[in-house]
């Protein structure tokens, strides 16, 4: 039985492709496509309609009044929404988000207790080194590259920021393995800044519902930040991720149990499934 909307305790599934330290393509910048594009990793089907998959784009964007109603409906379903990644400090949040590229929050949460016990600070992480970090995270995807990035960004923090996490997107994006989406998650969750990180789930839901349609992550992000009322911006990130993860799924959205189905502009809503008839003995 699919999970029902629920309160969460200790974002999302960040989905950027990890990178090497500097002068490389940013992790959470999508590759070029001819159709609507989702962030790299996780659920690439979110940007393209495949056989058996529902259409992904609403016929129009919502009005600002419709945006408010849609988000109000979601807020009732997820009143205590928070990131599902486990962390204790801005540094451990940053590391967890970097590790979550092309991995689930659950898989990251399984490796971070041992990692953060061994290296809770940039100093300790840099001292641990690539090989030891890699051994602690080897059950998650792309662990070798992620280990290099985590150690490299720790050394950058020590060299350039006195071991502290920067409070601006530009400075965060200079760190190894950190792209725009990861930077926005840290600013939103750690520093309470009104950013709207756009991951796979947010990209899909924004296009499908009409909340803010766009062919690229950056286009969707700009539209959402311009259209969502400021008091709702920070929390909307969590509402959208959880709704996309558990209800508005990529291949078959569970519209029949969506709290915002009346305010959603998706034209091909999935009806309540009919129970399968039980087999009788012949």
Q: Where are the domains of the chain?
A: 44-82+195-257, 90-191
Active-site residue, 269 included? no
Note if 181 is an active site residue. yes
CATH T-level fold of 90-191:
Endonuclease III; domain 1 (1.10.340)
Distances (CA, A) of 79 to 102, 175, 243, 261, 282: 27, 33, 12, 17, 50
Question: Which residues are CB-contacts of 243 (< 8 A; sequence separation ≥ 6)?
Answer: 5, 74, 77, 78, 201, 205, 258, 260
Binding residues: 248, 255, 258, 264
Write down the residue that tokens 């200079």 correspond to: 174
The CATH architecture assigned to 44-82+195-257 reads Orthogonal Bundle (1.10)
44-82+195-257 against 90-191: fold identical: no
Q: Could you give the percent of the chain with pLDDT greater than 70?
A: 79
pLDDT in tens, 35-61: 344 444 333 333 343 434 444 799 999
Catalytic residue among 42, 146, 148, 181: 181
Report residue 280's pLDDT band, with 50, 70 and 90 as the boundaries.
low
Band of the pLDDT at 87, cuts 50, 70, 90?
Answer: very high
Residue 25 has pLDDT above 50, yes or no: no
pLDDT of 81 > 60? The answer is yes
Q: What is the model's pLDDT at position 277?
A: 72
Range scoring the smallest mean pLDDT among 33-37, 189-193, 258-262, 272-276? 33-37
Residue ranges of the binding site for [4Fe-4S] cluster:
248, 255, 258, 264
The residue annotated as part of the active site, out of 61, 105, 199, 235, is 199
């Amino acid at each position: 039985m699919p999970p029902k909307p629920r309160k969460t305790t200790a974002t999302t599934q960040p989905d950027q492709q990890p990178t090497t330290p500097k002068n490389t393509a940013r992790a959470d910048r999508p590759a070029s496509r001819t159709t609507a594009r989702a962030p790299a990793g996780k659920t690439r089907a979110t940007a393209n309609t495949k056989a058996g998959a529902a259409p992904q784009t609403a016929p129009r964007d919502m009005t600002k009044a419709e945006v408010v109603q849609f988000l109000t409906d979601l807020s009732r379903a997820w009143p205590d929404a928070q990131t599902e990644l486990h962390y204790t400090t801005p540094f451990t949040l940053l590391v967890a988000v970097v590790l979550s590229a092309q991995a689930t929050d659950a898989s990251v949460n399984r490796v971070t207790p041992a990692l953060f016990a061994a290296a809770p600070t940039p100093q300790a992480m840099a001292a641990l080194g690539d090989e030891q970090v890699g051994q602690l995270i080897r059950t998650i995807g792309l662990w070798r590259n992620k280990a290099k990035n985590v150690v490299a960004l720790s050394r950058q923090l020590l060299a350039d920021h006195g071991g502290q996490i920067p409070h601006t997107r530009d400075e965060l994006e200079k760190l190894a393995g950190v792209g725009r989406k990861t930077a926005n998650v840290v600013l939103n969750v750690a520093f309470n800044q009104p950013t709207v990180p756009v991951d796979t789930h947010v990209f899909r839901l924004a296009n499908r519902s009409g909340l803010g349609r766009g062919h690229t992550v950056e286009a969707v992000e700009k539209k959402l930040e311009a259209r969502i009322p400021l008091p709702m911006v920070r929390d909307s990130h969590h509402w959208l991720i959880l709704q996309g993860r558990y209800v508005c799924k990529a291949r078959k959205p569970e519209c029949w149990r969506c709290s915002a189905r009346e305010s959603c502009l998706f034209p091909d809503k999935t009806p309540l499934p009919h129970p399968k008839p039980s087999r009788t003995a012949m």
